[in-house]
């Protein structure tokens, strides 16, 4: 097994819905395992059999992983202290993904425009409150000048 780094996110009771939505938006390969699908012997708690034990969404360039939160704490999801940064090959690809997140119940946080450091950058919240940041490197965009909206 090679070394890798994946983003892991727990959404209380919404992990399956979120990952299925992200799969619709971004494509990739989705692998979802519920607690009812695994042996429960030796578990230190008794989870809902429909709760997500582990899920992965493999995308070009990386992987998202997650599971349902198994405690009753209320964790804040929507915040600007973190984001999932996705660097894509073109402004058109980024605009398409942002549009899918917004049309799926999300909202724009920062318009997708030319970035002061070169290239393109923008942000959107999905309907689950997760902030997605999109970037296109300066040499990759093939576009120059003002951002098209």
CATH code where residue 28 lies: 3.30.720
Do 11 and 58 reside in the same domain of the chain? Answer: yes
- CA dihedral (92, 9, 129, 87) in degrees, to 10, reads -20
Instruction: Supply the range of the domain harboring residue 107.
Output: 84-136
How many domains does the structure of the chain reveal? Answer: 2
Extract the runs of DSSP E, i.e. beta strands, from the chain.
7-10, 29-34, 52-59, 62-67, 84-87, 107-114, 120-125, 131-136
Lowest mean pLDDT among 7-16, 69-78, 110-119, 133-142: 69-78
Rounded Cα–Cα distance for residues 84 and 30 (Å): 17
Name the H helices within the chain.
15-26, 91-103
With respect to residue 97, please indicate whether it lies within any of the assigned structural domains. Answer: yes
Do 93 and 131 reside in the same domain of the chain? Answer: yes
pLDDT for position 141: 52
pLDDT band at 149 (very low <50, low <70, confident <90, very high): very low
Rounded Cα–Cα distance for residues 14 and 18 (Å): 6
Do 11 and 63 reside in the same domain of the chain? Answer: yes
CATH code where residue 122 lies: 3.10.180.10
With respect to residue 33, please indicate whether it lies within any of the assigned structural domains. Answer: yes
Final residue before a domain boundary, out of 40, 67, 94: 67
| C-alpha distances in Å from residue 75, one per residue of 7, 18, 30, 34, 43 | 17, 16, 24, 21, 23
**Span 126-145, average pLDDT:** 81
With respect to residue 2, please indicate whether it lies within any of the assigned structural domains. Answer: no
Do 62 and 19 reside in the same domain of the chain? Answer: yes
With respect to residue 51, please indicate whether it lies within any of the assigned structural domains. Answer: yes
For the cut 60, the answer to whether the pLDDT of residue 35 exceeds it is yes
More confident residue, 99 or 77: 99
Do 14 and 60 reside in the same domain of the chain? Answer: yes
pLDDT for position 105: 97
With respect to residue 79, please indicate whether it lies within any of the assigned structural domains. Answer: no
Do 124 and 94 reside in the same domain of the chain? Answer: yes
Final residue before a domain boundary, out of 20, 35, 67: 67
Do 63 and 90 reside in the same domain of the chain? Answer: no
């Amino acid at each position: 097994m090679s070394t890798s780094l994946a983003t892991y996110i727990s959404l209380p009771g919404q992990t399956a819905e979120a990952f299925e939505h992200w799969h619709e938006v971004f494509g990739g390969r989705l692998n979802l395992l519920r607690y009812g699908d695994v042996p429960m012997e030796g578990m230190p708690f008794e989870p809902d059999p429909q709760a997500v034990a582990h899920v992965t969404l493999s995308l070009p360039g990386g992987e998202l992983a997650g599971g349902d939160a198994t405690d009753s704490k209320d964790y804040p999801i929507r915040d600007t202290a973190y984001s999932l940064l996705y660097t894509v090959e073109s402004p058109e690809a980024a605009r398409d993904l942002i549009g899918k997140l917004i049309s799926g119940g999300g909202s724009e946080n920062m318009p997708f425009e030319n970035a002061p450091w070169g290239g393109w950058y923008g942000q959107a919240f999905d309907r689950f409150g997760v902030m997605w940041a999109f970037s296109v490197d300066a040499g990759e965009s093939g576009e120059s000048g003002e951002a098209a909206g």
